[in-house]
Every structure is written in C-alpha cells, then in structure tokens.
Amino acid sequence: GYRSRAAFKLMEIDDRDRLFRPGLTVVDLGAAPGGWCQVAAERMKGQGRIVGLDLLEVAPIDGVDFIQGDFTEEAILRQLEAALAGRPVDLVICDMAPNITGIDAADQAKSYYLAELALDFAATWLQPKGVFLVKVFQGAGFEAYMKAMRARFRSVAARKPKASRERSREVYLLGREVIEAA
Ligand code: SAM
C-alpha cells in the first residue's frame, strides 16, 4: 500500500499531466513518509534516478536514494547537489510543509519560505524542458508565489486533485519549461 494520502493526489495529477517516465532524474522535496517516492518508483519502472529529501527518516524504497536533513540548510543542499552529480534534473516535486504551530499566519509564511527555496532549486537545477510540481496553500502569499512561478516557467497551471479535500486550501502548482535567467 501507499504510505500517504498524498500518493493518491500525485497519481491523479500524473494521470492527467504525465510527469513520470522511465529514465527521468527526479528530486522529491519533503519526501517522508515516502508516498510520492513510491509513486515515482512505480511509474518510472525502476529506470532513472529518484532522490528524496526530508527532515525525517524514510524507510527504504527500491530505486530511491534518501537524504535526511533540512532543505533550508546549505550543507544539506550541497549533499543533494552531490547526489545529483551534475546530472540535469527532469522533475522536481515538492510537498514540503512545516510543522503546524497553530498560528496560521506564521505557518503560511513558513510554508511559502520553503516553497520559494524549492522554486529557486528547481529553476537552478532543472533542464530547460524540466517540470516543477509544488504544493502551496491559498491565502496570503499565493498571488506573489504565482507571480514568481510565472517569472521562472513558461507555463504555470494549478491543480486541485479530487483526493484533496474540498475545504483544504492546498493547491498544486505545475510549472513547465524553465525561463533562462537574463
Ligand atoms: N509527499 C510525502 C508523501 O507522499 O509521503 C508527504 C510529505 S509531508 C506532507 C511534508 C514533509 O515535509 C514532512 O515529512 C516534513 O518533515 C517535510 N519538511 C518540512 N520542512 C522541511 C525541511 N525544512 N526540509 C526537509 N523536509 C521538510
């Protein structure tokens, strides 16, 4: 079985948008407990490279390499870059979410901070035709983030899978084709 409800959301998005193919190099940010990595490994049929990163430990999955650490830390980012060994990345998927403090504005700000770092990473490491999928929350910061996505990707679309509860503010943004920095 899948380790997370999130796995079903990703499968729904992939059924429509065809993110995974055998042979791709994929980075999964905020990978624990491993549901998205399971979907990636399955749909890539064991061909390609999947690197998952999380603060938490993830139980092993065939065909997936894990890095445990904080994505906001320079040293962990270097570790991720080393794992990629200069290989251009085809797909970055990000489901990172901060520990909820119960203070909504603070959670929202933290969540966008992580999403912004993920966007920077994706725009830097993706090959020109690369794809970036990121979960964000509607509310404060959404419009600014959309704008930042549009500045970095030629096409940006929003996806709300059925498996995502109606009242949940989460929405997945899908960027395609990196715009070269001037
Ligand atoms: N996509 C995953 C799956 O399908 O199993 C679920 C991801 S869960 C919603 C969000 C994850 O983001 C948590 O496991 C959390 O530890 C991770 N996370 C939050 N902040 C992080 C950070 N600074 N660096 C790395 N991971 C982080």
Is the Cβ atom of 72 under 6 angstroms away from ligand 1?
yes
Give the pLDDT of residue 101: 76
36 is in an annotated binding site: yes
Is the Cβ atom of 107 under 6 angstroms away from ligand 1?
no
Give the pLDDT of residue 141: 95
pLDDT of 34-86, one tens digit each? 999 999 999 999 999 999 999 999 999 999 999 999 999 999 999 999 999 99
Give the pLDDT of residue 164: 85
Give me the residues paired with residue 132 across strands. Answer: 92, 175
98-117: average pLDDT: 89
90 is in an annotated binding site: no
Give the pLDDT of residue 182: 63
107 is in an annotated binding site: no
90-110: average pLDDT: 90
Give the pLDDT of residue 53: 98
Q: For this structure, is 9 an active site residue? A: no
Centroid of ligand 1 to alpha carbon of 51 (angstroms): 14
Give the pLDDT of residue 100: 78
In a domain, 12, yes or no: yes
Q: For the chain, what is the largest distance between any 2 Cα atoms, rounded to a whole number of angstroms?
A: 45
Amino acid at 144: A
In a domain, 126, yes or no: yes
In a domain, 123, yes or no: yes
The CATH number assigned to the domain holding 108 equals 3.40.50.150
Averaged confidence pLDDT in the chain? 95
In a domain, 120, yes or no: yes
Q: Which two tokens stand for residue 73?
A: 């830390």
Percent pLDDT > 90 in the chain is 89
For the CA of 93, the nearest atom of ligand 1? 1
In a domain, 94, yes or no: yes
Sheet order of strands, 89-94 included: 64-68, 48-54, 24-29, 89-94, 126-137, 170-178, 153-159
To test the pocket of ligand 1, the residue of 55, 77, 101 to mutate (highest count of ligand atoms within 8 Å of its CB) is: 55
Residue reference for tokens 């065939």: 62
Is the Cβ atom of 98 under 6 angstroms away from ligand 1?
yes
Centroid of ligand 1 to alpha carbon of 71 (angstroms): 10
- The parent domain of residue 86 ranges over 6-178
In a domain, 89, yes or no: yes
Is the Cβ atom of 30 under 6 angstroms away from ligand 1?
yes
In a domain, 1, yes or no: no
For the CA of 32, the nearest atom of ligand 1? 14
Predicted complex ipTM: 0.99
Through-space distance between the first and last CA atoms of the chain, rounded to whole angstroms? 45
Looking at the 3D structure of the chain, how many domains does it have? 1
pLDDT of 120-143, one tens digit each? 999 999 999 999 999 999 999 999
8-32: average pLDDT: 98
151-175: average pLDDT: 93
